[in-house]
Amino acid sequence: MRLLSGSDKVAQSPVHHPLFARFYARYSVTAETRLGMAGIRERLLTGLSGRVIEIGAGNGLNFAHYPGTVAEVVAIEPEPLLRQLALESALRAQIPVDVVPGAAEALPVKSEAFDAAVLSLVLCSVRDVPRALSELRRVLKPGGQVRFFEHGQGGGPAMRLTQRTLDRTLWPTLTGGCHLARQPVAALREAGFALGPQRQVLMPENGPALPSSYCTLGVAWRPDEPDTR
């Protein structure tokens, strides 16, 4: 019998955050209009085509914004309550959406099977960022595109200290494993993705800056050469 490594155990252990999932399901719907998230989703997804994998689909609010040029979305969501809500959203989508249980660190799909990938407020909460991005490289075709909208480290020294302090204390426990001080753009670069245009977004745009306010909307690509990792 093969012994599981630490990363194997992370990938196979269940994700279950029922209290946070219920809160997120309500809050995210409000954020569509009050925080302008619907517009962010439109900019995130416009121009996509072919087969798309969405990592950490949550309750499926992206599904209504995929353009008709997308042939299929495979939406990975590990949290049971959010996955059930995503299944309901998939039924209302104008394109085919297959909602699948699974973890970002061990994607249950074939290699080089997708033309594009979508990351939307997910790298903050995956348990092993390098492994998750290695999996993303594996499942993307050479030259495949990554569309991302992620929050992370930002602001001045006092805000960054606040983010790190919250990460070491209650924040991940209260928010389904979310971390405030991660650096998603740097993580994509370190994982071997080629970075494209990026836009810094403060959420909420017109309110006070919160530890979770510092977001980046951007594009990256898997290099054209075959992945030999």
- Under 8 Å between Cβ of 136 and 55: yes
Assess whether pLDDT exceeds 80 at residue 195: yes
Tokens coding 83: 């996955």
The side-by-side arrangement of strands in the sheet containing 194-202 is 97-100, 70-76, 50-55, 114-120, 140-151, 214-221, 194-202
Residue 57: which of 102, 19, 22, 91 has the closest Cα?
Answer: 102
CB neighbours (10 Å) of residue 9?
Answer: 10
Statement: residue 5 has pLDDT above 50:
no
Confidence (pLDDT) at 32:
86
- The pLDDT, as a whole number, for residue 226 is 57
pLDDT of residue 213: 96
Q: Give the separation between CA 147 and CA 208, rounded to whole angstroms.
A: 27
What's the whole-number mean pLDDT along residues 35-49?
95
In the 8-state DSSP scheme, what is residue 94? S
Question: pTM for the complete prediction?
Answer: 0.90
Which comes out higher in pLDDT, residue 30 or 194?
Answer: 194
Which CATH code for domain 6-221?
3.40.50.150
Report pLDDT digits (tens) over 66-97. Answer: 999 999 999 999 999 999 999 999 999 999 99
CA angle 141, 143, 144 (to 5 degrees): 55
Strand-pair partners of 195: 220
- 108-153 tens-digit pLDDT: 999 999 999 999 999 999 999 999 999 999 999 999 999 999 999 9
Query: Distance between CA 2 and CA 12 in Å, rounded?
Result: 14
Mean pLDDT of all residues in the chain? 91
Give dist(CA 40, CA 62) in Å, integer: 10
